[in-house]
Chain A
Amino acid sequence: MIPRPFEYHAPRSLPEAIALLNEHGDTAKLLAGGHSLLPMMKLRFAEPGHLIDLGKLTELKGIREAGNEIRIGAMTTENELIWSDLLQKKCPLLVEGARQISDPQVRYRGTIGGDISHGDPGNDHPTLMIALDASFVLAGEHGERVVPADGFFLGTYVTQLEAGEIMTEIRIPVPAPGNGYCYAKLKRKTGDFATAAAAVTLRMQGGKVSDVRIVLTNVGQTALRASAAEQSLRGKLLDEAAIDEAARLAMNICEPAEDLRGDIEYKTAMAGEMTRRALRTALTRTAQ
């Protein structure tokens, strides 16, 4: 399995990469970690004429705190997320999510920016990003813009990223201390995509839910924010009845595709179960 021939470019700076992308238009693809794109190219599902490798752009790597935000370079790898002291301390949901992505070798190469830009509803970062209220920095010929994760994903492999733009940075508001979180993911085996998964971020006040986000993976054309489920919980006690009702509302928005991981009914039920588990675990991790 060898890809079709292409021209290879390894720019040394972001402006050079953007110029190449504009020069070659829709015949070009960006290569980040390559663990989604290269398999697609080997199967000839993707046949770019020009491959622009972002691997030498060290400016797109790294994790740092800037004011009340955590800023992550788009070319930061999954293992770098897992091993980050800053994330372990201040954004453990991202570490918990990254630990459940694929396998060790893939995590040395796979990048957060690639995972997000690819727009695959089976990927985990889109869900985690919406749950964390992240935003993305997109750089193009005429400068950069910042767009929120919620609304960025338009369909399978379709995002707000426009031709000629490169995702350079992920910005996450530092979660308030005491916020609960969980990424509950069901997969058949190491390396598989989720059968269904749910990310939850939770804030409790006086024993009641003051804020919650619930986002689902791989049960629709994009990561799905379960807004009605969230709304049903705000201001309520998070007891089993409330959790069941939220899971029911989350299942209502699922439109999974039937495949070897299961049929529509099973996947929808699993999305509900992952929602229940994520809510229960998030609650135990919440400072009341």
Chain B
Amino acid sequence: MSKKIMVSFKLNGTQTDVVVEPRELLIHTLREKCLHTGPHIGCETSHCGACTVDVNGMSVKSCTLLTVQADEAELLTVEGLAKGGELHALQEGFMQEHGLQCGFCTPGMLIRAYRLLQENPNPSEEEIRYWMAGNLCRCTGYQNIVKAVQYAAAKLRGEAVQTSHPLMAEILAH
């Protein structure tokens, strides 16, 4: 058993200290020590993207980062997206455009899309598909995820947004 190390990072704006073995992966620290269970464990082999969190302005698969590597880092997880009880534009977009079914991949999708829109506020469909390719979804077929990201991008640019989903539009009209 190797010596434990204290690691300090900012988690969704809150200064956080944890004591971990060097071999502990960030996903386990977040879920088991910080009780942030938004980031999910999907494949554990850096393929699926369900564990994606934002680390110092980069989308990172937290199953493939040691917690000790996150020392002094700024972390953002899905728990940090909604502010003051109001959904983030991306969360609203995923709801309005039916960008999820089972929801397992969604926290990773949201955090990845958050960074993508920070870097490129007006991505084309092709750019969304290319830069979201590290997140797998087994329900939606991706079409509605692309629409959800487009919805959020438009809202964040200050444009009027409306769901493209026929049933949702009908519900909202009543």
Contact across chains for B59 and A34 when beta carbons are under 8 A apart: no
Contact with A along B54-75 (1 / 0, CB 8 A): 0000111100111011010000
A39 and B45 contact, Cβ closer than 8 Å, known pairs A2-B23, A6-B22, A34-B65: yes
Partner of A105, one of B22, B45, B49: B49
Contact across chains for B60 and A108 when beta carbons are under 8 A apart: yes
Contact across chains for B133 and A4 when beta carbons are under 8 A apart: no
Contact across chains for A35 and B64 when beta carbons are under 8 A apart: yes
Partner of B66, one of A5, A38, A103, A191: A38
A55 at the interface (CB under 8 A from B): yes
Nearest-neighbor residue (CB-CB) of B133 within chain A = A190
B168 at the interface (CB under 8 A from A): no
Partner of B69, one of A4, A53, A102: A53
A105 and B2 contact, Cβ closer than 8 Å, known pairs A2-B25, A190-B133: no
Nearest-neighbor residue (CB-CB) of A77 within chain B = B58
Contact across chains for A104 and B66 when beta carbons are under 8 A apart: no
Contact across chains for A3 and B23 when beta carbons are under 8 A apart: yes
A6 and B64 contact, Cβ closer than 8 Å, known pairs A104-B133, A108-B58, A191-B134: no
B37 at the interface (CB under 8 A from A): no
CB neighbours of A7 from chain B (8 A): 2-3, 22
Contact across chains for B134 and A105 when beta carbons are under 8 A apart: yes
Partner of B22, one of A1, A5, A42: A5
Partner of A109, one of B21, B60, B133: B60
- Name A residues whose Cβ lies closer than 8 Å to a Cβ of B: 1-8, 10, 31, 34-35, 38-39, 42, 51, 53, 55, 79, 102-106, 108-109, 190-191
User: What would be 17 A-B contacts, judged by CB atoms less than 8 Å apart?
Assistant: A2-B23, A5-B23, A34-B64, A34-B65, A35-B64, A39-B45, A51-B22, A102-B134, A103-B133, A104-B112, A104-B132, A104-B133, A104-B134, A105-B60, A109-B58, A109-B64, A190-B134
